[in-house]
Amino acid sequence: MNPEQNSSAANVFGMIGLGTMGRSLLLNMADHGFAVAGYDKNAAQVAILEQEGQHAPVSVFSSLPEFVASLKSPRAIMMLVPAGPIVDSVIAEILPLLDKGDILIDGGNSHFTDTTRRDKELAAKGFHFFGMGISGGEEGARRGPSMMPGGDIEAYKVVKPILEAVAAKVNGEPCVTYIGPGAAGHFVKMVHNGIEYGLMQLIAETYEILRKGIRLENEAIYQVFKTWNEGRLQSFLLEITRDIFSYKESGADGYLVDRLLDVARSKGTGKWTSQVAMDLELPIPSIDAAVETRDLSKYKSLRVEAASVYGAEQPNGFTAVEQQQLLTQLEQAFYFSMVTTYAQGMHLLAKASVAFDYQLQLDQIAKIWRGGCIIRAAFLENIYNAYQQNPTLQHLLLDPQVAQLVQQAVPGMRTVVATAAMSGVAIPAYAASLSYFDNFRNATMPSNLIQAQRDYFGAHTYELIGKEGVFVHTNWVPDAID
């Protein structure tokens, strides 16, 4: 069809996939006065949207051709379906029903390499395509998410008014912006999720210190997170953690959190972040530690057996004064590690921007993360300001204001890591954050010895201080000593 042929169509936006996220985002658009259409093969999902959208400009379809015919040209259709082969199958099914110039949006958590492939394939066929990361969960989608669209900029311009209307707002500004070409949007969302892994692990390790090190009960742990969330550590993740430590099921004894199995699962985006960072030869150890610790948590039976073999350290108790001192130092340590985790993620974005020609604007990414998304936090204002003042800033830890904040938190960080280590409390993300910082500021790492070792056993050659180029292999075997 051309635009004239479906000029009677009323809907300006279509959604394929009416699960929690797709349905919530579609209703959000309808709340802002946009006539929208939803499609799903699952009759139950169709029925839910029919019920929830009965008083809104929402059309619901179980027929794909009817759904497509209801959309104005150029058609703008978002897919919110599980990442992987399902996305390709949806594209294959809908393409014969579309006209050249129509727009397809992948709003799921697709791997950025899949998005790169789809972008090229659909462009060659005359269709517009872009991948868009969406953060905020069900509540964000319904009331205002943070969105990271990247790819075909002309396609983004068509739907920009809709996305800006439904996005979260901070200081009246929408938490959505064009990220960059190709798979830039999905890449940035992947790194967002990697940072999310790191922050969640830091909070979990804080919980471990509070209950096993300081030996606080849940009521006191609630107060710690409540107090922190009212200060410079304010963030969505601390907010929900506070709530978790106050939740009791109706009629049940004790807190629900105490009955949950200590096994953390994942959908892979943290792993993808670690993998691409290694491919780009850029360290993100705080995020890596979070991914690895989730993996270790899955070996529950092995951990139980090891506990019977080695026993568990019993941390010494602390006096009331010592407890208060450690809580103050723990706040500093969390702040330090949080900053370091964000800094690693932003460094990865900077490196990827060059490697993949994404043309990322780090200040704008920090800006749209300030509201709606899972990693929103007061500190993102500092990140935004740092890259606003210096768009070519090579690393967040080199920003003068950030450096001052980090320096102030270093003493508490060192005390907490040392105390936890002596007490047998595992804090891999905290420890990784400190080691990263100490090596980052280390002007003379011991890597010269690694150069020598590699050349000794493998003739890999080496570089010398003050001289350009790589030098030949040296015979490192010393003369015999009488």
- pLDDT average, residue stretch 231-253: 93
How much is the pLDDT for 231?
96
Residues 318-335 have a mean pLDDT of: 87
Residue in 159, 7, 115 with CA at minimum distance from that of residue 70: 7
Q: For residue 470, what pLDDT band results from cuts at 50, 70 and 90?
A: confident
Per-residue confidence (pLDDT) for residue 301, from 0 to 100: 96
Quote the pLDDT of residue 384: 97
Give the residue-averaged pLDDT of 373-387: 97
Check pLDDT > 60 for residue 426: yes
- pLDDT bracket for residue 3 (50, 70, 90): very low
Mean pLDDT of 278-294: 97
**What pLDDT is attached to residue 268?**
81
The per-residue pLDDT for 5 is 34
Mean pLDDT, the chain, as a whole number?
92
Pick 212 or 348 by higher pLDDT: 348
CA distances from 97 to 74, 77, 80, 102, 147 (A): 13, 12, 19, 10, 27
Cα 189 to Cα 268: distance, rounded to the nearest angstrom: 12
Average pLDDT over residues 179-193: 96
Out of 79-83, 381-385, 423-427, 474-478, the most confident range is: 381-385
Please classify residue 2 by burial: count the beta carbons closer than 10 Å to its beta carbon, then call 0-12 exposed, 13-18 middle and 19+ buried. exposed
Give tens-digit pLDDT for 74-117: 999 999 999 999 999 999 999 999 999 999 999 999 999 999 99
Among residues 41, 157, 189, 217, the one annotated as catalytic is: 189
CA distance 104 to 319: 61
Rounded to the nearest 10 degrees, the angle between the axes of helix 43-52 and helix 20-31 is 30
Q: How is the chain split into domains, by residue range? A: 13-182, 189-440, 445-482
- pLDDT tier at 320, thresholds 50, 70, 90: low
pLDDT in tens, 447-458: 999 999 999 999
Is 125 known to be catalytic? no
Residue 465 scores a pLDDT above 50: yes
pLDDT of residue 318 exceeding 70, the answer is no
Q: Find, among 384, 348, 25, 373, the residue nearest to 187 by Cα.
A: 348
Does the pLDDT value for residue 171 go beyond 60? yes
Question: Is pLDDT above 50 for 58?
Answer: yes
471 has pLDDT over 50: yes
Partner residues linked to 60 by β-bridges:
38
Distances, alpha carbon 127 to alpha carbons 2, 13, 99, 102, 187, in Å: 14, 16, 8, 6, 21
Active-site position among 138, 196, 212, 322: 196
Distance separating alpha carbons of residues 260 and 257, to the nearest angstrom: 5
Q: Among 391, 292, 401, which residue's Cα sits nearest to residue 339?
A: 401
**Rounded distance between C-alpha atoms, residue 202 and residue 191, angstroms:** 17
Is 164 among the catalytic positions? no
pLDDT single digits (tens) 4-50: 334 446 899 999 999 999 999 999 999 999 999 999 999 999 999 99
pLDDT digits (tens, 9 = 90+) for 393-422: 999 999 999 999 999 999 999 999 999 998
Domain 13-182 has CATH 3.40.50.720: yes
We find that the CATH architecture of domain 445-482 is Up-down Bundle (1.20)
CATH topology of domain 189-440: N-(1-d-carboxylethyl)-l-norvaline Dehydrogenase; domain 2 (1.10.1040)
Is 67 a residue whose pLDDT tops 90? yes
Range 62-67 average pLDDT: 95
Is it the case that residue 369 has pLDDT exceeding 50? yes
